[in-house]
């Protein structure tokens, strides 16, 4: 049920359309002679306590002359978000009666067309920035646009819509997008033909929607991660009604795109992505994700398994399961295939972990999902990212150890090695609890490869606290690490409570120190792999010479390391998508080089490895 809180001068809403899937407002019509309009609509629904706010406004005051009003009609802007109505919204309410003779609905093209008639074969172009979730989101967008009749092009030169799928996790990511938008504005100004619409999608879109629409006509469409279904509608509105921009940045309590089968950007790729949940409840003090992607909600296990089977039928050899907090997956839906509701693996990693939110009981957990995914095709490698250290129950570790197609590669983001910093970050664990988990993982999965994330220079970090991070890296000896200097994000707990008081020069020095520490330890670990046999999925073909050795094919090991294969007679018949056994002959901190032993498979390599022990 929706309640209209107020209307415009002499006209009420003529018609309001509701998105079938998202409960998002896609359109509202008013007489064109009354342009200076603002609407606020509050949603009353059991699934969400937030309000849905819709604003349509112009920079042109209302005038009685119909022609002059129509002349300025294109100055309208439409923004759909979760903001509650302001005092100004209520003050704008008018008590004047509505004259039915003055009510004339706007012409909205998409209301009278369906399916592929929206796109009519027009072309769209996508640039992707940021994390693997954005890659998957782009494949969802690709499916939605294709179904609406649009055609993806690989060059912006013949595109009628250009999308940038963005990231907001760090300031540098946003700076890159602003520079790209300025270039696109220059690019459009030099075109002899009609310039394309420019749309900014994803996390940055949700965070900076107003700024994007207001700054020098840089953007025509702004759409957050939960609004992709509305994009064909937004294109129609931007082209025909709201030439000052249109935005849908509403966060959904239940959108997972479970019924959208993604269309892969590269159909020849041997790797695929499957998103199983969206959003995050952890509310770490440094992280913007809960504010750009909303609360956690999980897809049903049936739709996930169907998508995995679809990728298997397409010949995909490696699947990465995705989620902002992927191992907190919890499915409470009714399943056609999987009736168990035993909540296998529902506990936290150990007694040293906690959450700032109340954990819910019941439902199928990540351990059961991973079990089912691994059984779809034993010759498909399965990885997952990005997990939280709190959600590695013992049952999950034993499952990974027992299935040869579940990669022995675990990402364990710690962020800092100091307990005081971890407390300020609201990570929910101590250094000691984390190290206990590392020890358990290595005891259950002997050949495990462990990676992590690190943030240096967080608010108030002292030199002693920084040294604790360095010492933890020395102790764990990670195989891979993603390391960054802290970047303050608006809306976060840290932005409200702390001061970004570590000088940039100090952040840079500390970052270099942890990078050097990682590379020193990783180089030592990788040298120990010389002489070992690794199973490599061939993913790339490019002839190159590194340190005097010619290679043509490369791929990833079970642990996720890049392995270059020496060119020789035995590699002449190789092709992308094959599994091969490789003997490692040299190593650096970032990659391995090996000589091909022969073709293999996941199950055959696992059997030979067991027999050689």
The 10s digit of each residue's pLDDT in 429-480 is 999 999 999 999 999 998 999 999 999 999 999 999 999 999 999 999 999 9
531 SS3 class: coil
- CA neighbor of 587 nearest in space, from 524, 521, 526, 518: 526
Q: Mean pLDDT lowest for which of 12-26, 88-102, 323-337, 376-390?
A: 12-26
| Residue 89 CB neighbour total at 10 angstroms | 17
In this prediction, residue 105 has a pLDDT band, given cuts at 50, 70 and 90, of low
> Given the DSSP bridges, would you call strands 449-456 and 480-485 parallel, antiparallel or unpaired?
parallel
For residues 580 and 533, the answer to whether their CB atoms sit within 8 Å is no
Q: 């197609």: which residue's tokens?
A: 405
Average pLDDT over the chain reads 83
DSSP assignment string, 120-162? TT-EEEEEE-SSHHHHHHHHHHHHHHHHTT-EE-S-GGG-SEE
CA distances 541 to 544, 557, 564, Å, are 10, 16, 10
In this prediction, residue 378 has a pLDDT band, given cuts at 50, 70 and 90, of very high
Burial class (CB in 10 A: 0-12, 13-18, 19+), 457: buried
Count CA atoms within 13 Å of residue 602 on its CB side. 19
Give helix then strand counts, H and E, for the chain.
Answer: 17, 27
Comparing 234 with 81, which gets the higher pLDDT? 234
For residues 397 and 436, the answer to whether their CB atoms sit within 8 Å is no
Burial class (CB in 10 A: 0-12, 13-18, 19+), 467: middle
Token output for 462: 């002292």
Phi, psi of 604 (to 5 degrees): -65, -40
192 SS3 class: coil
pLDDT at 84: 52
CA distances 388 to 107, 348, 434, 462, 470, Å, are 49, 10, 11, 25, 21
Highest mean pLDDT among 34-48, 241-255, 402-416: 402-416
Is residue 369 scored above 70 in pLDDT? yes
In this prediction, residue 572 has a pLDDT band, given cuts at 50, 70 and 90, of confident
Is residue 53 scored above 70 in pLDDT? no
CA distances 492 to 95, 284, 289, 290, 581, Å, are 41, 8, 9, 9, 47
548 SS3 class: coil
Q: Mean pLDDT lowest for which of 13-17, 99-103, 162-166, 448-452?
A: 13-17
pTM of the model: 0.82
pLDDT at 201: 94
For residues 106 and 142, the answer to whether their CB atoms sit within 8 Å is no
pLDDT at 89: 54
Binning the chain into helix, strand and coil, the percentages to the nearest 5 are: 35, 25, 40
Is residue 544 scored above 90 in pLDDT? no
In this prediction, residue 60 has a pLDDT band, given cuts at 50, 70 and 90, of very low
In this prediction, residue 83 has a pLDDT band, given cuts at 50, 70 and 90, of low
In this prediction, residue 218 has a pLDDT band, given cuts at 50, 70 and 90, of confident
In this prediction, residue 127 has a pLDDT band, given cuts at 50, 70 and 90, of very high
Q: Which residues pair with 79 in a beta bridge?
A: 55, 247
Longest dimension (CA), the chain: 88
Angle at 327 between CA 377 and CA 522, to 5 degrees: 85
In this prediction, residue 169 has a pLDDT band, given cuts at 50, 70 and 90, of confident
Phi, psi of 392 (to 5 degrees): -120, 70
For residues 267 and 314, the answer to whether their CB atoms sit within 8 Å is yes
pLDDT at 38: 33
Phi, psi of 409 (to 5 degrees): -135, 115
In this prediction, residue 345 has a pLDDT band, given cuts at 50, 70 and 90, of confident
Is residue 188 scored above 90 in pLDDT? no
DSSP assigned state of 199: E
Q: 């042109």: which residue's tokens?
A: 60
- CA neighbor of 297 nearest in space, from 318, 311, 276: 276
Is residue 23 scored above 70 in pLDDT? no
pLDDT at 484: 95
Q: Which tens digit of pLDDT belongs to each residue from 316-341?
A: 999 999 999 999 999 998 887 776 65
Q: What percent of the chain has pLDDT over 90?
A: 60
| 177 vs 43: CA distance, rounded Å | 33
- CA neighbor of 333 nearest in space, from 289, 367, 292, 303: 303
Q: What percent of the chain has pLDDT over 70?
A: 79
Q: Mean pLDDT lowest for which of 310-314, 323-327, 355-359, 562-566?
A: 355-359
| 514 vs 507: CA distance, rounded Å | 11
Is residue 522 scored above 80 in pLDDT? yes
| 510 vs 506: CA distance, rounded Å | 6
pLDDT at 170: 77
Q: Which residues pair with 199 in a beta bridge?
A: 163, 221
Token output for 433: 């609890």
For residues 133 and 322, the answer to whether their CB atoms sit within 8 Å is yes
Q: Which tens digit of pLDDT belongs to each residue from 264-299?
A: 999 889 999 999 999 999 999 999 999 889 999 999
Burial class (CB in 10 A: 0-12, 13-18, 19+), 398: middle
pLDDT at 193: 86
163 CB-near residues (< 8 Å, 6+ apart):
124, 125, 126, 127, 141, 199, 200, 201
In this prediction, residue 82 has a pLDDT band, given cuts at 50, 70 and 90, of low
* Secondary structure in 3-state letters for 304-322: HHHHHHHHHHCCCCEEEEE
pLDDT at 96: 59
Burial class (CB in 10 A: 0-12, 13-18, 19+), 606: middle
């Amino acid at each position: 049920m929706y309640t209209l809180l107020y209307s415009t001068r002499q006209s009420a809403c003529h018609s309001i359309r509701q998105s079938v899937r998202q409960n998002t407002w896609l359109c509202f019509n008013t007489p064109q002679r009354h342009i200076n309009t603002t609407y606020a609509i509050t949603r009353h629904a059991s699934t969400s306590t937030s309000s849905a706010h819709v604003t349509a406004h112009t920079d042109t005051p209302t005038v009685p002359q119909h022609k002059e009003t129509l002349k300025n009609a294109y100055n309208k802007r439409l923004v759909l978000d979760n903001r509650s109505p302001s005092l100004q919204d209520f003050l704008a309410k008018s008590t004047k009666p509505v004259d039915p003779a003055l009510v004339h609905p706007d012409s909205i093209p998409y209301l009278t067309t369906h399916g592929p008639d929206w796109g009519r074969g027009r072309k769209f172009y996508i640039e992707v920035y940021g994390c693997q979730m954005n890659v998957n989101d782009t494949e969802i967008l690709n499916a939605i646009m294709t179904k609406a009749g649009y055609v993806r092009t690989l060059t912006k030169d013949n595109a009628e819509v250009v999308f940038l799928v963005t990231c907001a996790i760090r300031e540098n990511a946003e700076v890159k997008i602003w520079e790209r938008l300025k270039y696109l504005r220059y690019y459009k100004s030099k075109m002899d033909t009609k310039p394309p619409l420019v749309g900014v999608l994803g996390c940055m879109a949700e965070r900076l929607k107003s700024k994007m629409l207001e700054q020098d006509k840089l953007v025509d469409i702004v759409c957050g991660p939960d609004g992709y279904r509305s994009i064909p509608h937004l294109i129609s509105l931007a082209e025909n009604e709201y030439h000052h921009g249109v935005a849908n940045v509403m966060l959904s309590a239940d959108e997972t795109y479970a019924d959208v089968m993604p269309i892969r950007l590269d159909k020849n790729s041997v790797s695929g992505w499957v998103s199983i949940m969206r959003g995050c409840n952890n509310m770490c003090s440094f992280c913007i994700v809960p504010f750009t992607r909303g609360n956690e909600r999980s897809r049903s296990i049936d739709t996930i398994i169907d998508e995995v089977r679809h990728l298997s039928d397409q010949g995909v050899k490696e699947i990465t399961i995705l989620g902002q907090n992927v191992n907190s997956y919890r499915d409470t839906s009714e399943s056609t295939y999987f009736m168990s509701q035993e909540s296998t693996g529902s506990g936290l990693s150990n007694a040293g972990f906690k959450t700032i939110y109340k954990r819910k009981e019941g439902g199928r957990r990540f351990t059961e999902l991973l079990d089912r995914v691994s059984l779809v095709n034993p010759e498909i490698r399965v990885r997952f990212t990005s997990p939280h250290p709190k959600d590695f129950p013992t049952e999950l570790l034993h499952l990974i150890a027992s299935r040869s197609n579940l990669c022995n590669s675990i990402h364990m983001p710690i962020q800092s090695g100091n307990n005081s910093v971890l407390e300020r970050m609201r990570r929910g664990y101590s250094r000691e609890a984390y190290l206990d988990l590392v020890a358990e993982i290595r005891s259950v999965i002997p050949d495990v490869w462990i990676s992590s994330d690190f943030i240096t220079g967080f608010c108030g970090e002292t030199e002693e606290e920084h040294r604790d991070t360095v010492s933890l890296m020395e102790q764990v000896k990670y195989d891979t690490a993603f390391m960054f200097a802290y970047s303050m994000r608006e809306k976060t707990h840290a932005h409200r409570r702390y001061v970004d008081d570590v000088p940039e020069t100090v952040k840079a020095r500390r970052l270099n120190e942890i990078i050097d520490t990682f590379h020193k330890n990783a180089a030592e670990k990788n040298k120990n792999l010389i002489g070992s046999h690794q199973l490599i999925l061939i993913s790339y073909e490019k002839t190159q010479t590194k340190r005097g050795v010619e290679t043509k094919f490369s791929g990833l090991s079970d642990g996720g390391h890049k392995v270059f294969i020496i060119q020789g007679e035995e590699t002449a018949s190789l092709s992308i998508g094959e599994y091969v056994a490789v003997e490692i002959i040299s190593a650096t901190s970032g990659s391995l080089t090996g000589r091909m032993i022969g073709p293999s498979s996941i199950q055959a390599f696992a059997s030979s490895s067991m027999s050689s022990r």
